[in-house]
Structure 1
Amino acid sequence: MDLPVVIAGAGIGGLSAALALGARGHDVLVVERAGELAEVGAGLQLSPNACRVLKELGVLDRLMPHAVAPRAIRIASGRTGREIASIELGDRIATRHGAPYLVVHRADLQRTLFDHALDQGRIEIRLGSEIIEISDTPDGIVQCHVQTGDILAQISAKALIGADGVWSSIRNRVPGHREADYTGLTAYRATLPAERVDDDLLTRTGLWLGPNAHLVHYPICAGREFNLVALVPERWTEEGWSATADRTALLDHFGNWAAGVKTLLEKPDTWLKWALCGVDANGPWSDGKIALLGDAAHAMLPFAAQGAAMAIEDAAVLAHHFPPTATNVRTVLKAYEADRRKRVKKVQETAVENGRIYHLSGPMAVGRNTVMKLMPPDRLSARQDWIYGWTPPL
């Protein structure tokens, strides 16, 4: 009997990898610590590079009823409230790149991936389970000791993929990989019923730029809800890495912003906040028959809206390099790592640079706004082609 590939984590990356490897012909076991899929997080932006993979995995059509395809990204000044530039999306971006640009609730994407995986005969998912020990046999088989309640099972695997997020436990088994670091930035998130915001906000993604802060918003859940994300630099003093937010403290960051923006920020009664932590993509991603994927390998700032997309891309590339007949799994995983590192690192660096640009103040902000206003819309859109135009390997 062929040994399975074991995947730690049933998040976006882990489930995408399960589907990609299953389609390639592998048996797959996904081990997830949570006892049920919870609505953790909020909105996600899925650019054409991610949607192209989801389409190949047979997931995109299933996801569309839960998604929104915004017609544009409206970039505006947080201080004045005036529009700086607009990047057309909708049919134009879908035609340009052969796949749509979507915004969704993270839970809707995860549930769609999960349900599709359950429909595949080669994929098993164990919720409420945890890999508590990993060992190697003399003949090179990975032994995963999986705890599910009071039951301890020993699973022999051809490979172990750590897709268990920014605080990955599997990453501890990859020598030389640094732990996640707090970036000094916090994301405040809230959702509202769509009827509580102006209709115009439900057709576009909004990006508001200001000194030491920026705001992103867009519709989710097929347009029934409205997602807001406010990003600011601040010290993190909470015990964990997410917490209920002090609404007053958030609003203080935006005290000098335009009245319309402040009114929007005042609408949610409850905000949650997350410390933004990163994992350097330059660290090793694999060791022997163990490899990392998604945030476990390269958690990044959200300022390029590519965190989920990079994990989905990882899944496609891993499956491409991993035929079921592969006899040297170490070589397969090293090839996957080498194939992905340069692109992911560039996206990481782009996200950091975007954050710096978004938060400019004074004359530098005026210069930024002027350049963006004068840039032809097609040229502004083309700056994303290297990201959005990526296609999965054949």
Structure 2
Amino acid sequence: MAPSRHVIVAGAGIAGLTTAMTLSRAGFRATVLEQAAKLEETGAGIQLSPNATRILFELGLRDRLEPHVVKPQMIRVMSGGSGREIACIPLGDLAERRYGAPFWVIHRGDLQAALLDGARGMIDIDIKLDHRFDDFASHANGITVQAFRGKQLVDERGAALIGADGIWSAVGDKLKSHRKPVFAHRTAWRTLVPADSVPDYLRAPVVHLFLGMDAHLVAYPVKAGALVNLVGIVNDDWNERGWNAPGDRTEILRRFARFTWAESVRELIGIPQRWLKWALFDNATPFAGGAGAVTLVGDAAHPMLPFLAQGAGMAIEDAAVLADTLKKHSENPAAGLRAYERLRRARTARVQRTARQQGSIYGRTGPEAVARNLVMRLIGGERLLKRYDWVYNWRQDQGAV
């Protein structure tokens, strides 16, 4: 295969593996460099909305994913103070008919395992573990990427380099236009608990969102219903990097304080013995783009807050658009990457902005929280769902919509 059809991808997470698969389907050979020596099941639950599942199905992953997912019938927005329902947003079959693809929740490790399995089944994808990206050099014949395999420096040559290496992207650090993410003064706490350890209503195929004083909590089943994923978001000044810092159970209970949070919610938070936490980062500046035959996808390009549940969705969309533009510009990879960036800039910036606004709405207290709850009740679930049409209805040929 000609060098112009070989693309190097840094990172074997959701963004990197999806990118490799979309490139393979577009007729490219992809080499994925991953610094981990072994890909292990990590992370918590994630929400896959129809804009993402549609692309995953096109990659032939539906049968691999379906045994592990839960298809929520609704999102129940709850008052954290009283424990009562504020609004109910319908999903399930209604959403699948509306958008042409389902809304699923899944453990991140199950999604990554399915992507890895799918990628390894494609002859044009080579996944190289224990390869830590170091640097790149552009030249007339494309690009040379340097990586460390242990202590040994190795080269990989191709037509383009795609940084899919997350929010603290090493590829991004080499781009002059790249802006580092900014701490959002919030932390997310996550855990998984056996389904039989929680009240019956939390075992149902439903996403529960509890809004309360200075925090909110999301709960939904994963692992085909065997486990329940809990994620609490709190205001915080702790801002260390990483995804797996141990969290003190007594601290998160303090954040969901007695008398301001319903005892039923506090009892739920008290079930797990082990919590992990990570600091939330954002970037209010839209992705400025790469340089030459280098660009970024996913969190490396546009880190976003989790309040719209679109981090994985945007990475999956990126992969589909990038493969399409590179295919259209196969003789000029740099032109293909600039076309990808133009198509993605407005949409990803809008998602970032909306997630930021959603977080502000979730975080309201006192009279503002009362007004928010009243407005949500008056709008009703179906009209609340309609507000997400622009996110969930996205198709690859819509470009920047």
TM-score by length of 2: 0.95
Opposite residue 23 of structure 1, the aligned amino acid is R
Please give the per-residue CA displacement for 1:261-309, whole angstroms capped at 9, x wherever unaligned: 0110000001110011124452322110000000000010000000000
Partner of 2:317: 313
CA distance in 1, matches of 2:328, 2:341: 18
Structure 1 gap ranges (5+): none
Question: Within 1, Cα distance between the matches of 2:156 and 2:43?
Answer: 31
Residues 250 and 221 of structure 1, relative CA distance in 2, 3 Å threshold: same
**Contact conserved, 2:138 with 2:293, CA < 8 A, in 1?**
no
Moved over 4 A (4+): 237-242
Within 5 Å, which residues of 2 pair with 1:66-105?
A: 66-105=68-107
Q: Corresponding residue for 2:13?
A: 11
Which residue, 353, 358, 382 being the options, matches 1:354? 358
SS of match in other structure, 1:40: coil
Distance (Å, rounded) in 2 between the aligned partners of 1:335 and 1:98: 27
Deviation at 1:393, TM superposition (A): 2.5
The letter for the 1-side match of 2:324 is H
- Answer whether contact 1:47 1:101 (CA < 8 A) is retained: yes
Task: For 2:56, give the aligned amino acid.
Answer: L
What is the identity, as a one-letter code, of the residue corresponding to 1:286? G
| Partner in structure 1 of residue 45 of structure 2 | 43
Q: Report the secondary structure of 1:92's partner residue.
A: helix
Residues 280 and 297 in structure 1, CA contact (< 8 A), matched pair in contact too: no
Alignment of 1:370-381 (within 5 A): 370-381=374-385
The offset of 1:146, in angstroms, is 2.6
User: Letter of the aligned partner of 1:163 in structure 2?
Assistant: A
User: What is the CA distance between 1:359 and its match in structure 2?
Assistant: 1.1
| Cα displacement (A) at 1:63 | 0.5
1:344 aligns with 2:345: no
Letter in 1 for 2:154: A
Letter of the 1:362 partner, please give it.
Answer: G
Cα RMSD, aligned residues only: 1.5
Q: In structure 1, what is the Cα distance between the partners aligned to 2:274 and 2:226?
A: 18
Indicate the residue corresponding to 1:142 in structure 2: 143
- Contact 2:241–2:279, Cα closer than 8 Å, also in 1: no
Query: Identity rate of aligned residues, in percent?
Result: 46
Compute the displacement of 1:165 (Å): 0.1
Structure 1 residues 69 and 170: CA distance shift in structure 2, 3 A = same
Question: So what's the TM-score if we normalise by structure 1?
Answer: 0.97
Return the alpha-carbon distance in structure 1 between the equivalents of residues 211 and 328 of structure 2: 48
Residue 298 of structure 2 aligns with which residue? 294
- State the distance in 2 between where 1:277 and 1:241 align: 12
Distance 2:135 2:371 in 1: 54
Residue 372 (structure 2) pairs with residue 368 (structure 1):
yes
- Partner in structure 2 of residue 158 of structure 1: 159
**Contact 1:281–1:344 (8 Å) recurs in 2:** no
> Quick check: 1:174–1:284 contact (8 Å CA) kept in 2?
no
Shift of 1:152: 3.3
Instruction: Tell me, yes or no, if the aligned pair for 1:7 and 1:28 is still in contact at 8 Å.
Output: yes
Equivalent of residue 131 in structure 2, options 129, 132, 135: 129
* SS of aligned partner of 1:58: coil
What is the identity, as a one-letter code, of the residue corresponding to 2:77?
I
Q: Which amino acid in 1 is paired with 2:148?
A: Q
Distance 1:126 1:324, change over 3 A: farther
Q: Residues 215 and 62 from structure 1, CA distance in 2 versus in 1: closer, same or farther, beyond 3 angstroms? A: same
Q: How does 1:238-253 map to 2 (within 5 A)?
A: 238=240, 242-253=244-255
Letter in 1 for 2:198: V
The aligned amino acid for 1:77 is S
Could you tell me how far 1:122 is from its partner in structure 2? 0.5
1:385 matched to 2:389? The reply is yes
In the alignment, residue 368 of structure 2 is paired with which amino acid?
M
Rounded to whole Å, the distance in 1 between the matches of 2:299 and 2:89 is 28
Quote the offset at 1:109 in angstroms. 0.2
3-state SS of 1:45 partner: strand
The separation in 2 between residues aligned to 1:238 and 1:59, in whole angstroms, is 35
Match runs of 1:149-298 below 5 Å: 149-202=150-203, 203-236=205-238, 238=240, 242-255=244-257, 256-298=260-302
What letter corresponds to residue 261 of structure 1 in structure 2? V
Q: Which moved more, 1:369-378 or 1:321-330?
A: 321-330
Structure 1: distance between partners of 2:271 and 2:58: 39
Provide the C-alpha distance between the structure 2 equivalents of 1:251 and 1:376, rounded to a whole number of angstroms. Answer: 31
> CA separation in 1, counterparts of 2:227 and 2:359?
26
SS across alignment from 2:52: helix
Q: Could you report, residue by residue, the CA deviation over 1:175-204 in whole angstroms, capped at 9, with x for unpaired residues?
A: 121112211110000110111112321220
Residue identity in the other structure for 1:221: K
Q: What is the identity, as a one-letter code, of the residue corresponding to 2:177?
A: G
Aligned length: 393
Distance 2:77 2:192 in 1: 20
Contact 1:175 1:284 in 2 (8 A): no
Deviates more, 1:200-209 or 1:147-156: 147-156
Shift of 1:131: 2.0
| 1:144 aligned partner, one-letter code | V
Superposed CA offset, 1:132-179 (max 9, x none): 221122x14100123223543321110000000001000012212111
Q: Tell me, in whole angstroms, the C-alpha distance in 2 between the residues paired with 1:97 and 1:300.
A: 23
Q: CA–CA distance in 2 between the matches of 1:10 and 1:127?
A: 9
CA distance in 1, matches of 2:284, 2:10: 20
Q: Aligned partners of 1:377, 1:135: CA distance in 2, in Å?
A: 52
